[in-house]
Structure 1
């Protein structure tokens, strides 16, 4: 068994919420609180949320975490 880790980031829009919701629907779990920071170049707020998931496979650096 392996615990996988991802950090989902996106602009502070509904798209970010949909990406996190999709991960949760695929068995990922929230890991800590979300984070928010201002991107001065784009002039928008950016969001981040770490998620984890335990899988029945050995870790492989070539894994596509978003497809797990």
Structure 2
């Protein structure tokens, strides 16, 4: 697994509104990301597409 220090602090995931998308979001939450704002939904003529922004809070470093 990737160290959380190597992960971007901001991500936007997009995809069909299905179980696989929910698993991707759940994986990001397990890595410490938090939902940022409401999901965005659109219809592409065949299915619903969803987008969700996520942020990973910065770790606070206390100086000596």
- What interval of TM-score do these two structures reach, taking the shorter chain for normalisation? 0.7 to 0.9
Q: Secondary structure of 2:9's match?
A: strand
The RMSD of aligned alpha carbons is 1.6
1:47 aligns to 2:50 (yes or no):
yes
Give the greater-gyration-radius structure (CA). Answer: 2
1:28 aligns to 2:33 (yes or no):
yes
Query: Which ranges of 4 or more aligned residues in structure 1 deviate by more than 6 Å?
Result: none
Question: Runs of 5+ in structure 2 lacking a partner?
Answer: 1-7, 60-64
| Whole-Å separation in 2 of the counterparts to 1:48 and 1:28 | 15
Cα offset for 1:55? Answer: 4.2
Higher RCO, Cα 8 Å, sep 6+: 1
What is the TM-score when the length of structure 2 is the normalising length? 0.73
Question: Runs of 5+ in structure 1 lacking a partner?
Answer: 57-68
| Whole-Å separation in 2 of the counterparts to 1:31 and 1:55 | 14
| Matched length | 52
